[in-house]
Amino acid sequence: MLKLDNINVYYGSIHALKGISIEVNQGEIVTLIGANGAGKTSILKSISGLIAPKSGEITFEGKTITGVPAQSIVKMGICHVPEGRRIFANMSVFENLELGAFLVNDKAVVKQRLEHVFQRFPRLAERKNQNAGTLSGGEQQMLAMGRALMGQPKILLLDEPSMGLAPILVQEIFEIIKEINEAGTTILVVEQNAHQALSIAQKAYVLETGKIVLSGTAEEVASSEDVKKAYLGG
């Protein structure tokens, strides 16, 4: 469904991604794990058109999307939930969700999608008229994910969904991610909480300083002694 082939990204003279190649098949949850600065966020930004790789190719459903503008990539069915949520704090929950369907002109479709989001995130329904900035961290993460789902993505890119959340909320967010996947959405998730990410993924890639140093099934990666020592407290 999604393929990155030998992607190289530079920030000025800094070589941030060094020949990255990954594949995500339809229906999978794939996770990228690694330390801060390893290049995980740069991979997601490359896919969603927020940064342009210097070389290499990205394909989605067989079509090259390297260098395609971000708004066109959203239309293709790729939605990105960025690190830090990036909700519009001074707008209501309802208004934030509406923005997620800005490409949809049919009000009936927008209403239907809102109903689905509120079913998945009942707390958002309870707080739909509140300013988004007054929500808790967990509720803001739910809102960011709900806003992306309003675009009815084929694939959802999640960047650090558990960041800053209490452990009980982390568990809840990952259960929701599993449910979204089981309902038919493919997911590529960047996550520092390697234990949680590997527990729900089918496939995993480990990044260090812009390179993939290990890949395989989630079980294979979780059983690696190096991964256990570096990320799983083994």
Using DSSP, state whether 124 is helix, strand or coil: helix
- DSSP letters spanning 2-39: EEEEEEEEEETTEEEEEEEEEEE-TT-EEEEEE-TTSS
Q: What is the pTM of this model?
A: 0.88
Residue 205 CB burial class (10 angstroms; 0-12, 13-18, ≥19): buried
Q: Which residues contact 137 (CB under 8 A, 6 or more apart)?
A: 164, 165, 169
pLDDT per residue rounded down to tens, the chain (234 residues): 999 999 999 999 999 999 999 999 999 999 999 888 889 999 999 999 999 999 999 999 999 999 899 989 988 999 988 886 688 888 899 889 988 877 777 888 878 888 888 988 888 988 898 888 888 888 888 888 888 888 888 999 999 888 877 788 888 888 889 988 998 999 999 988 888 899 999 999 999 999 999 999 999 999 988 888 877 765
Collapsing DSSP states into helix, strand and coil, what is residue 99? helix
Please, what are the domains in the chain?
Answer: 2-231 (3.40.50.300)
